[in-house]
């Protein structure tokens, strides 16, 4: 990443909270030449973040010159609060007080509770705006941080009635300087959106995976890609999710009411699978699922059926997938998406490649000519 001459944030920037996201913000700004400072309630985390180049340590400066001089010396243009959600509002309020010239953004994954809590403090909200970079990873801590973490990901900016234009400009600048795509919505819309696209999927995955605790391992050895895909995010960190689900409880529970209604209907139907209308009931549920998933945009923002898939059998030896993709490249076709399918303890793998529909038939023909086995 190089210094972008169109960058908005000129610095200095103080990042409070130096975990995965905070340290990644620091790294991404530092490599662009912005003067960046990091801070964390844990001295070890702060030191690690400073060591990896996320910014200079606020604590070390405070040791040298005392807290008041340190604040005056840094005089940040922007403070980024990257703490866990349950302390975000308190940290923002403190930052607004400590740095009366600075704009303050937080990046917590739930937005309305932070804004409501800040309103109660009577803080100067013209200098505050809530944001949410949608770049969570399964790993945590500053060691996992990367300046590129936000590239090409959505970063939601939640404007509110009291915010000043300069604060909005800096928040948008932070997101775009780090390579993210800015999306704008108000806090309620944001929280309802993430409940639906992130928090409820997490709950459903955990509920499903939880059923596997007593399953014999022999049965689980028959598991296919469907089970793997639906349970993957159930491996996420419980500590973080307790905070997220607690903070966004209302929108999550409102979506879960709908899930429960459908689940109760399905259970009643499956208790009498030969009753009149039972098959129609099941078909309706499945069709509703079809309709829902069809609305998720694909990689380039198009409809999910914008690409056609083919499955190629490959030997499980180094270089096979590279050779396959090199040949696809030679044929002149761009791979839009790809996934490798697991199989059970066997030396043959399957690679599913998605391409634009007009390219599929020709690609199947060319690959077959070259000796590849196409399984679908």
Residue 62 or 196 having the CB closest to a second copy: 196
Phi, psi angles (nearest 5°) of residue 85: -55, -35
Q: Name beta bridge partners: 155.
A: 133, 182
Residue 65 or 220 having the CB closest to a second copy: 220
Least distance between a second copy and beta carbon 180 (Å): 9
- State yes or no: residue 346 binds a second copy (CB under 8 A): yes
Least distance between a second copy and beta carbon 60 (Å): 28
Least distance between a second copy and beta carbon 126 (Å): 27
Contacts of 325 (CB under 8 A, 6+ apart): 335
- State yes or no: residue 206 binds a second copy (CB under 8 A): yes
Out of 283, 357, 361, 370, the only residue in the binding site for a second copy (CB under 8 A) is: 283
The answer to whether 359 and 328 are in contact (CB under 8 A) is no
Least distance between a second copy and beta carbon 294 (Å): 7
Out of 41, 343, 362, 370, the only residue in the binding site for a second copy (CB under 8 A) is: 343
The residue count for binding a second copy (CB under 8 A) is 140
- State yes or no: residue 368 binds a second copy (CB under 8 A): no
- State yes or no: residue 338 binds a second copy (CB under 8 A): yes
How many CA atoms does the CB half-sphere of 304 hold within 13 Å? 8
Handedness of CA 83, 89, 95, 100 (dihedral sign): positive
Out of 296, 358, 369, 371, the only residue in the binding site for a second copy (CB under 8 A) is: 296
Residue 41 or 375 having the CB closest to a second copy: 375
221-280: which residues touch a second copy (CB under 8 A)?
A: 221-224, 226-236, 238-239, 241-242, 245-247, 249-250, 252-253, 255-260, 262-264, 266-267, 270-271, 273-274, 278-279
User: 353: exposed, middle or buried (C-beta count within 10 Å: 0-12, 13-18, 19+)?
Assistant: buried
Q: Name beta bridge partners: 355.
A: 308
- State yes or no: residue 122 binds a second copy (CB under 8 A): no
Residue 139 or 370 having the CB closest to a second copy: 139
Residue 325 tokens read as: 């993709």
77: nearest Cα among 208, 167, 193, 201 = 167
137-196: which residues touch a second copy (CB under 8 A)?
A: 137, 139, 144, 146, 148-149, 151-154, 156, 179, 181, 183, 185, 189, 192-194, 196
Residue 101 or 222 having the CB closest to a second copy: 222
Rounded Cα distance between 96 and 109, Å, is 20
Lay out the sheet containing 13-16: strands in order across: 56-57, 36-39, 13-16, 78-81, 103-106, 128-133, 154-158, 181-184
User: 89: exposed, middle or buried (C-beta count within 10 Å: 0-12, 13-18, 19+)?
Assistant: buried
């Amino acid at each position: 990443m190089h210094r972008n001459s169109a960058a908005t944030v000129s610095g200095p920037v103080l990042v409070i909270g130096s975990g995965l996201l905070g340290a990644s913000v620091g790294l991404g700004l530092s490599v662009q030449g912005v003067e960046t400072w990091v801070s964390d309630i844990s001295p070890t985390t702060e030191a690690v973040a400073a060591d990896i180049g996320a910014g200079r340590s606020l604590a070390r400066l405070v040791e040298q010159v005392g807290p008041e001089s340190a604040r005056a010396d840094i005089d940040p243009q922007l403070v980024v609060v990257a703490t866990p959600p349950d302390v975000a509002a308190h940290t923002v309020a403190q930052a607004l007080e400590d740095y009366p010239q600075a704009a303050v953004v937080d990046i917590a994954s739930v937005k309305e509770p932070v804004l409501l809590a800040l309103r109660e403090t009577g803080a100067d909200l013209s200098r505050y705006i809530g944001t949410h970079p949608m770049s969570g990873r399964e790993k945590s801590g500053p060691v996992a941080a990367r300046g590129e973490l936000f590239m090409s990901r959505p970063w939601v900016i939640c404007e509110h009635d009291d915010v000043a234009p300069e604060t909005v400009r800096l928040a948008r600048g932070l997101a775009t300087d780090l390579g993210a795509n800015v999306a704008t919505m108000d806090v309620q819309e944001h929280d309802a959106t993430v409940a639906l696209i992130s928090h409820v999927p997490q709950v459903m995955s955990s509920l499903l995976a939880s059923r596997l605790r007593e399953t014999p391992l022999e049965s689980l050895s028959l598991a296919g890609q469907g089970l793997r895909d639906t349970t993957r995010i159930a491996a996420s960190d419980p500590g973080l999710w307790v905070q997220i689900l607690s903070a966004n409880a209302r929108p999550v529970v409102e979506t879960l009411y709908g899930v429960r209604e459908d689940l109760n209907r399905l259970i009643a139907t499956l208790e009498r699978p030969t009753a009149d209308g039972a098959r129609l009931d099941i078909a309706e549920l499945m069709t509703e699922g079809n309709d829902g998933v069809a609305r998720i945009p694909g990689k380039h923002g198009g409809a999910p059926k914008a690409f056609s898939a083919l499955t190629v059998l490959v030997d499980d030896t180094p270089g096979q997938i590279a050779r396959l993709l090199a040949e696809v490249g030679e044929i002149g076709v761009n791979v839009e998406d790809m996934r490798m399918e697991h199989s059970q303890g066997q030396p043959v793998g399957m690679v599913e490649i998605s391409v634009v529909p007009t390219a599929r038939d020709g690609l199947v023909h060319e690959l077959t000519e070259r000796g590849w086995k196409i399984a679908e």
